[in-house]
Amino acid sequence: MQIDRIWTNARLATMTGAGLGVVENGAVACTRGRIVHAGPVDALPPAPAAERIDCAGRWITPGLIDCHTHLIHMGNRAREFEMRLRGASYEEIARAGGGIVSTMRATRAASEDELVAAALPRLDALIAEGLTTIEIKSGYGLDAPSELAMLRAARRLERERGVTVRTTFLGAHALPPEYQGDPDGYIAMLCNDLIPRIAGEGLADAVDGFCEGIGFTPAQIERVFTAARAVGLPVKLHAEQLSNLHGAALAARFGALSADHLEYLDQAGVAAMAEAGTVAVLLPGAYYFVRETQLPPVDAMRRAGVPIALATDCNPGTSPLTSLLLTMNMGATLFRLTVDECLRGVTRNAARALGMADDVGTLEPGKRCDLAIWDIEHPAELVYRMGFNPLHARVWSGQ
Ligand code: DI6
Ligand code: FE
């Protein structure tokens, strides 16, 4: 066996097993971008290595994974934020041309190159904290040309930076103005035209929707899911964010990879998710930013064995957040997740939420050699600090 690179003199949080999977005196070995050993240094395969890197006792975790973002969008809503601070209501802001439709207008007006350029600083902020895999949704174009442009721009980010990108088609995010009064017509366009086309061009890895009073009804989401499954795409759902429409149970019935937000999830929804193996993606940044007070049912999820992931929900309206470290801190502080749960939420369970459990998310032989190397004394520091980045180095695919 030829080994390309070995990281030695490290402490590992492999994220395998029930806890952090700690290995003192650990080493990681990599061949052609894949891990061939992650464990005690004594157990390294007796093979020559082209390069050895001394980690001087630093910690290595799997590269971080953000499994729910709206990273591609134009403009921002800082002015709207200011108006809200002065007491303006959501409706007043919408009437003044704000809200999701303002992001849609800006996004439609942009070229694919401009979409890529606008997203890169946000991606770089995440990468600077050890991110190696990211999910990116469409959903601010809301017509065929702009939704396709968003997905193409997301795919291009993978080539612009050393990072793995998973794309998600979120046409059912909001009703565009040209379909005002005809949501079923819009859903029909998504199902009959856009979803088959996107699948045919290989532009999306999954299909998502916003099941909410201000989004789409469960019946409309069901049509979107049926169309997605018909072309072989897995589904996921923004569910139970502002009210309980039983979206998570609907998603579970379609074998969804994840149901996301979930503040208003009930016991039946928890049970349905557990049964289907659907991951609960919690988004504490959105909870914080909109000053929500209803907590997701974390204890019930734990008891039922629902895997919990954490993500930024990076979007201009409800979570202008580009830090997975801060997301973990919020997961612990706001949702009372443990340190182990937070770390699992941005590694192993985030991988599972993307259907990538065999490829990334833990330090194990066969997985992609995606590493984050940290200047810390203990992994709890990654959850504990606010606004401090102890990343020493980041490795994507062994590089
Ligand atoms: N849930 C949210 O919180 C965001 N989208 C969604 O489905 C809001 C997006 C925006 O306001 O731009
Ligand atoms: Fe979202």
Q: Which two tokens stand for residue 228?
A: 């997605």
How far apart are the C-alpha atoms of 26 and 204, rounded to whole Å?
38
DSSP code, position 44 = -
69 CA to centre of ligand 1 in angstroms: 10
137 CA to centre of ligand 2 in angstroms: 8
**Residue whose CA is closest, atom 9 of ligand 1?**
317
73 CA to centre of ligand 2 in angstroms: 12
pTM over 0.85: yes
390 CA to centre of ligand 1 in angstroms: 30
The residue type found at 297 is P
261 CA to centre of ligand 2 in angstroms: 8
Ligand having the closest approach to the CA of 215: 1
Of the residues 69, 84, 100, which should be mutated to test ligand 1's pocket, given the most ligand atoms within 8 Å of the CB? 100
H helices of 86-178, in order, are: 90-95, 100-108, 112-127, 144-160
Spell out the per-residue pLDDT of the chain, length 399, in tens.
Answer: 789 999 999 999 999 999 999 999 999 999 999 999 999 999 999 888 899 999 999 999 999 999 999 999 999 999 999 999 999 987 788 777 788 999 999 999 999 999 999 999 999 999 999 999 999 999 999 999 999 999 999 999 999 999 999 999 999 999 999 999 999 999 999 999 999 999 999 999 999 999 999 999 999 999 999 999 999 999 999 999 999 999 999 999 999 999 999 999 999 999 999 999 999 999 999 999 999 999 999 999 999 999 999 999 999 999 999 999 999 999 999 999 999 999 999 999 999 999 999 999 999 999 999 999 999 999 999 999 999 999 999 999 999
Res 105: pLDDT: 97
Q: Give the Cα-Cα-Cα angle 106, 112, 115 (nearest 5 degrees).
A: 50
Contact 59, 373 (CB under 8 A): yes
Res 186: pLDDT: 98
**Residue whose CA is closest, atom 3 of ligand 1?**
318
Of 83, 120, 60, the closest CA to residue 322 belongs to: 120
Ligand 1 atom with the smallest distance to the CA of 316 is 12
Res 96: pLDDT: 79
Is 388 buried (19+), middle (13-18) or exposed (0-12) by CB count in 10 A? exposed
257 CA to centre of ligand 2 in angstroms: 15
Res 292: pLDDT: 95
Ligand 1 atom with the smallest distance to the CA of 100 is 12
Report the pocket of ligand 1 as residue ranges, CB < 6 Å: 100, 103, 173, 210, 238, 241, 286, 315-318
**Residue whose CA is closest, atom 11 of ligand 1?**
317
Of the residues 70, 207, 289, which should be mutated to test ligand 1's pocket, given the most ligand atoms within 8 Å of the CB? 70
The 3-state DSSP class for residue 330 equals helix
Ligand having the closest approach to the CA of 290: 1
Res 92: pLDDT: 84
The residue type found at 192 is N
38 CA to centre of ligand 1 in angstroms: 39
**Residue whose CA is closest, atom 6 of ligand 1?**
210
Contact 37, 29 (CB under 8 A): yes
Of 270, 267, 264, the closest CA to residue 251 belongs to: 270
**Residue whose CA is closest, atom 12 of ligand 1?**
317
Res 263: pLDDT: 98
205 CA to centre of ligand 1 in angstroms: 20
Ligand 1 atom with the smallest distance to the CA of 283 is 3
Res 174: pLDDT: 95
**Residue whose CA is closest, atom 2 of ligand 1?**
318
Ligand having the closest approach to the CA of 209: 1
Contact 42, 390 (CB under 8 A): no
